Each structure stands twice: as structure tokens, then as C-alpha cells.
A = this chain, B = another copy of it.
Amino acid sequence: MSAENNLTGVRRSRPRRTDEGKDKATARDELRKAILAGEYMPGERLVEAQLIERFGASRFNIRLALQDLAGEGLVEIQRNRGAQVRKISLAETIEITQVRMVLEGLVAAQAATRVTDEEASELDEIGLLMRRAVEAGEFRRYSDLNQQLHALVRRIAGHQTADRLIGTLRAQLARHQFMLSLLPGRPMVSLPQHERIITAIRGRDPGEAEAAMRDHIASVIEVLRTLDDQGIIP
């Protein structure tokens, strides 16, 4: 969400290799990765001194990194009380997924108007691999392919604004994200939905592509509501 690395293409006149102090961007990316990997749990305090030790960056850069992640909704900063990994309620999870639904719907529609023949082949390829993964019961692999498919659709659409927003929203749900794919029976339901999306984009039918994507994500929301009734997610 920022153009901060100005790679001028010109080599540095003054090499400063020996410095191992990491800059803001590096610290931010590593910390985000750690949070998404679940190494810090929601609600856990992020004490600056500890982060300095772990990531080897200066306090200044650590603070900037925390500010950035707060902007992304991954971290919550309370004045004079420090930062903690943001807790996301189920209600908020549903809201976020609803927004993802309409955004990915928009992206799917745009992908349908822009897809090239080559990209269509890529879509087919992923669809095929998905079907195989489901038949083989490789659910983890199916989950990966799921992400690949959504990423490919976004790449085809080339909608930077929607793309960026979807990225930050997905990050906020990273914890729940892959759990869903592993629910018993989920792949059987979502596979035909994915295939419908692929077919619509291949057929260059924006309306159908959007509808297919929205139905797909709407069914995820249904599952979330079910989990709510069962009290599975806090």
C-alpha cells in the first residue's frame, strides 16, 4: 500500500553492507509474516523491546512498522498502552467476507472482459488440478489451489484498487481462511462453484462471472453463520 522503495536502478555509490539494522519495510513485512503465521495470537501484546530483539531493527523502525500494520488492520494500537494483535470477532469476519464477496465479484467480472486465450488455459489448468486434488482427498493442496485460482483471477482482471483492498482483507482473515477449506465436505461443495467461475470467465461473460464468484463467497458466509450458531468460533 505504498510506494516507498524508490529503486532508482542506480547502484549505491556508498555500500553500507555491514549494517544489519533492518529498515521499516523489512521489519513490517517480517512482523506481518509472523502474525499471519500465527506466531503471535490475537490479543497478544506486541512489546516494542521484544520486537527489537526478534527482528533486529531499531525501535524507530519497529514503531513505524507497527503503525503500518495498524493501518492494515492487523494490529491495534492504544495510546500509551502499546500494540497488540487485533482480535477479529465473528461478526466482523462476516462483514469482511461480505466486502470480499462484492470486490472479488467485481474482479471476476472484469477478468471476464479481459481474459486472453493463454490465461484461459491457465484457468483450465488450475481447474483440472483442483478436481484431481479433491478426488485424491488432498485437501491441503486444494486449499492452495483455491488461493492460486483467486490470485489468477485478480491478475487477469488487473484491477489494482480492488486487488490491494482484497489483499488487506484476506490478511485480516488469514487465521480463519484455510480452516474453511479443511472443513469436512467443503471441497465437494466449492469445487463446482470454482468450476462455474472458470467457465464464466472463459466464456467472457462478466455478469455470470460476477454472479458465480458472489455465490461462491456467499456460501462461505453461510458456513460462517453456521459456525456462529454452533459457537465454534469465539
Residues on A facing B (Cβ under 8 Å): 1-6, 64, 67-68, 70-71, 73, 76-81, 92, 95-96, 98-99, 101-103, 105-106, 159-162, 165
Cα–Cα, bound, A162→B100 (Å): 10
Q: From the candidates B79, B92, B99, name the one contacting A6 in the complex (CB within 8 A).
A: B79
A28 to B73, CA, bound (A): 18
A98 proximity list for chain B (CB < 8 A): 106, 159, 161-162
On whether the beta carbons of B71 and A2 are closer than 8 Å, the reply is: yes
Task: Compute how far the CA of A225 lies from the CA of B78 in the bound complex, rounded to whole angstroms.
Answer: 43
Task: Report chain B residues within 8 Å CB of A67.
Answer: 64, 67-68, 71
Q: Which residues of B contact A76 (CB under 8 A)?
A: 2-3
Interface residue from B2, B4, B77, B105 paired with A4 (Cβ < 8 Å): B77
Q: Give me the 10 closest cross-chain CB pairs, A-B, nearest first.
A: A71-B71, A102-B102, A95-B161, A102-B106, A6-B79, A6-B78, A99-B161, A96-B161, A99-B162, A4-B79
| Residues of chain B lying within 8 A (CB to CB) of residue A159 | 95, 98
What are 15 A-B contacts with C-beta separation under 8 Å?
A2-B70, A2-B71, A2-B76, A3-B77, A4-B79, A5-B79, A67-B68, A92-B160, A95-B159, A98-B106, A98-B162, A99-B103, A99-B106, A99-B162, A103-B103
Number of copies: 2
Chain B residues whose CB sits within 8 angstroms of the CB of A81 once the complex forms: 6
Closest B residue to A92 by CB, please name it: B161
Contacts of A1 in B (CB 8 A): 71, 73
Min CB distance, A78 to chain B, in Å? Answer: 5
Task: Evaluate contact between B160 and A6: CB separation under 8 angstroms.
Answer: no
Contacts of A95 in B (CB 8 A): 159-162
Q: In whole Å, how far is A35's beta carbon from the nearest beta carbon of chain B?
A: 17
Closest to A64 in B: B67
Most B C-beta atoms less than 10 A away, residue of A68, A80, A98: A98
4 new A-B contacts, CB < 8 A, other than A3-B76, A92-B160, A98-B159, are A2-B70, A96-B161, A99-B106, A101-B106
Chain B residues whose C-beta falls within 8 Å of the C-beta of A160 in the assembled complex: 92, 95
